[in-house]
Amino acid sequence: MIHVSDMSWTRKINHPSECLQKGQEVEAVVLDVNPKEQRISLGLKQAQQDPWDEIAKKFPVGSVVKGKVSKIASFGAFVELEDGVDGLVHISQISDQRIEKVKDALDVGQEVEARIVKVDRGERRIGLSIRAMTMTDDEIKALVAEAKGEEVKPVSAKTAGAENLGGLSAAFDNAFANVEWQPGEAK
Rounded-to-integer distance, Cα 111 and Cα 103, Å: 14
Residue 161's nearest CA partner among 96, 101, 77, 104 is 96
Cβ pair 140, 154 in contact under 8 A: no
Domains parsed from the chain with CATH numbers: 4-48 (no CATH), 52-177 (2.40.50.140)
- 4-52 pLDDT per residue, tens: 999 988 777 889 888 899 999 999 999 999 999 999 999 999 998 888 8
- 119-167 pLDDT per residue, tens: 888 888 899 999 888 877 787 777 667 766 776 665 444 444 333 444 5
CB neighbourhood size of 167 (10 A): 13
pTM exceeds 0.85 for this model: no
